[in-house]
Structure 1
């Protein structure tokens, strides 16, 4: 079930106690490392970090009224989801991340195309996720997005 929260604070406040701390720490990690220009918002029932229309007026191709999504954070039923659109669209960034992951966590990386799933909340590599969040500026993301979407 998607959250109906209107703000990240509302989202965090409705979580079970054991997840509040984890999502709050992930949120702080993202905010501390995300390059200037991205905007924190709520989208698709998750905390999101987007390229605002003031930087990229075209918005998201699926719904141009929506700002271009970049990172999302969600407490799912069986895991914490960290969604990073850059690793979905940039093979070099994906390779960097998958090469670095074992240096931080001993268990196998559990991920889909853009979703990194953390079933064990005690094994979240916050430092690595912060570095991942820092790797693309809004301008870098727009350029990569347009190169993928327009091809």
Structure 2
């Protein structure tokens, strides 16, 4: 579900009642574990966690007017999705996550390139999502992002 909500509070009001407690808990876990510097915003019609322009002035190379995206959570028709760009950019992080997931769940994770989909609230491994949220600092994400997605000639790092 891509929302036109402009605030997180408005977005949360749109979430189906059956999923709202899980979404609120997921959001709380992320906010408690997210390294310093990331900011919570509405991004791409979802709740987003981004590196603000004050920390990374170049912004997102696809749309420089936008802050650098890192992670999003979204309510969808069939459940909740978590998008984590670090999983897409860092095969080591993806490997760590999949191994850790196997330790906390008997169900195989429904994972795409950067997306983890949860079809049942009781299957969301909140503690693991907290650990995933804290694994990539803002400087580490900027470096990984520039190495993975920004061509050398277009790198415009703030040097942080």
Instruction: Give the TM-score of the pair, scaled to structure 2.
Output: 0.92
Aligned pairs for 1:16-55 within 5 A: 16-55=16-55
Distance 1:14 1:25 in 2: 16
State the 1:9 CA deviation.
Answer: 1.2
RMSD: 0.9
Distance 1:67 1:42 in 2: 11
Unpaired stretches in structure 2, ≥5 consecutive residues: 152-160
Distance 2:127 2:15 in 1: 23
Whether the 8 Å contact between 2:19 and 2:79 is mirrored in structure 1 is no
Whether the 8 Å contact between 2:50 and 2:71 is mirrored in structure 1 is yes
Structure 1, residues 52-103: CA drift from partner, whole Å, max 9, x if none?
0000001001100000000100001112100000010001111100110011
Matched position secondary structure for 1:18: coil
Aligned pairs for 1:2-151 within 5 A: 2-151=2-151
Unpaired stretches in structure 1, ≥5 consecutive residues: none
Equivalent pairs, count:
151
